[in-house]
Amino acid sequence: MPKHIIAMNCRINELSENHQVTVIHLINHLASHSFIYQVHAMNRIEKIATENPYVDDIPGFEKLTKDLKEDG
């Protein structure tokens, strides 16, 4: 299988080690399943990747609040 390189900013090192391992497990899980399942799962992940926890209604998650005093 041909290999290619994707160059992009990656902030995985800002996650805890446990969360980094979870992301790798997710990648391996997706790679081990059919393309149709991968597409389905990626559609779900894309929704998460664009959520805004301050303004979006996220089932099972209470919106975050921003303390404006911290900015100044």
Q: 5-23, pLDDT tens digit by residue?
A: 888 899 999 999 999 999 9
pLDDT score for 20: 97
The arithmetic mean of pLDDT across residues 22-43, rounded, is 97
| Continuous segment of H or E residues that includes residue 27 | helix 17-31
Contact 24, 12 (CB under 8 A): no
User: Which residue type is seen at 16?
Assistant: S
pLDDT at 66: 80
**Residue type at position 56:** D
pLDDT of residue 68: 57
